Amino acid sequence: MRVSSQGVTVVALLADPDAPTEIAQRMARMLPDRLADRSGPGRRFDVEVVSEPFTAGTEDLSTLTRRIMDRARAESWDIIVALTDLPLHSHGRKLVVDLSHEHGLALLSLPSLGGFRLQTRARQAVEEAVLSLTGPQATGPEGPAEGRQLRGPFTRRLAPIHPGQVGEEEIADLRYVVTGPRGYLRVLLGMVRANRPWRLVPGLSKALAAALATGAVATVNSTVWNLTTYLSTPRLVIAMVGSVALMIGWLIVDANLWHRTDEASPEARKRAALYNASTVLTLGIGVVVCYAGLMLINLVWALFILNDRVFASTTRTSLDAAEYWTLSWFVASVATVGGALGSGLESDEAIRAAAYSKREQERRSMLQDDHGD
């Protein structure tokens, strides 16, 4: 590890655009003081954030590491920590972080940190990586990483993070991966978090317009009134689940969001299953948020427009709070089906932009181009 002539260790956070850059910028404000406090007296740190798409076109660890090394050689950085929101893989495991003490670099895959408290977990991981890279040189017979195991809450006992296998010809000398079902779930939630499913709501403007129009008409339809008076709660739940599932399925088919692989290896199939699961969850969360919004809007519309006497004369049932709720719930299901049809007016690019992170959009565009060729 090099130290600048002024005695300040320069740490560069090389971050993919979008969410990784935002995370890096937030942690950079407090990272110098935290690193200095944990490193002991006399050591200072300067943290820089560089936003570059260093993962563009590849998920291969060796290629990514060489790109990071080439980028570091062009600058006067002492330590470089790269952050990406792509899920990376190593020997059949989901990668958390790769470290090379000889070259002073680390590569962190954010999805492996899970979908909750991502900012805090990312900061802890970066802190541990930097402290490990700035530690004393190891002299043990186990190799350069001996005695440099990461510490702290990042690798606490209950976390599904463990040291991983490193090949003899690889640049990294210390690796951490997630294992087991909990590790798989952690990566899946991290991928969904990176996709930011709440962005799907404004991204489906035409579908929402169709859903709102459908809901407005259904609310004042006497046939719908009669249906709601006979619908039980299980049937309302079935209608809700069916409409949400229809919306998700239509979006996947219409925008060609289902990931297919031409590789026959078990790891490729597992990777495809992981990507598809993240797609379903991302769309599911976004559609459920839309559904809840439609239900609320329909309730407000019903309270404003419906007349108790007209409703009672048609259904022979008084328009009380339960009827308002049942009507709004059923109309939301009907409106969601209308929104599914309206989603066909959206471009595939608009849906991908709303449903996926920037790195995932580029990865899927590259795959689509390869299949087209």
CA angle 59, 65, 66 (to 5 degrees): 110
Residue 30, amino acid: M
Q: How many angstroms separate the CA atoms of 150 and 176, rounded?
A: 9
**Sign of dihedral through CA atoms 110, 116, 118, 124?**
negative
Q: Provide the 3-class DSSP secondary structure of residue 105.
A: strand
DSSP string computed for 222-285: HHHHHHHHH--HHHHHHHHHHHHHHHHHHHHHHTT--------SHHHHHHHHHHHHHHHHHHHH
pLDDT for 237 equals 95
Residuewise pLDDT in 10s, the chain (373 residues):
444 445 788 899 999 888 889 999 999 989 988 888 888 777 888 999 999 888 877 777 888 888 898 888 888 888 999 999 888 888 778 888 989 888 889 999 999 888 888 898 899 889 988 988 887 644 344 444 445 667 655 566 556 777 787 877 788 888 888 888 888 888 899 888 887 787 777 777 788 888 889 999 999 988 898 888 888 999 999 999 999 999 899 888 887 788 777 766 677 777 788 888 888 998 899 899 989 999 999 999 999 998 888 888 888 888 888 899 999 999 999 999 888 877 665 566 666 666 665 566 665 565 555 555 5
Do β-strands 79-84 and 8-15 pair in parallel, antiparallel, or remain unpaired? Answer: parallel
pLDDT for 167 equals 77
DSSP bridge pairs for 175:
98
pLDDT for 349 equals 66
Alpha-carbon 136 to chain mean position: 36
Kindly provide the b/e burial profile for residues 184-214, where b requires at least 16 CB atoms within 10 angstroms of the residue's own CB: bebbbbbbbbbbbbebbbebbebbbebbbeb
DSSP bridge pairs for 80:
12, 105
| Paired tokens of 373 | 């060729």
Q: How many angstroms separate the CA atoms of 73 and 71, rounded?
A: 6
**CA distance to 32, 34, 113, 156, per residue, from 5 (Å):** 18, 22, 35, 36
Among 57, 74, 58, smallest CA distance to 14 is for 74
Residues 6+ apart with CB under 8 A from 93: 164, 165, 177, 178, 179
| Paired tokens of 269 | 């199939």
Q: Provide the 3-class DSSP secondary structure of residue 92.
A: coil
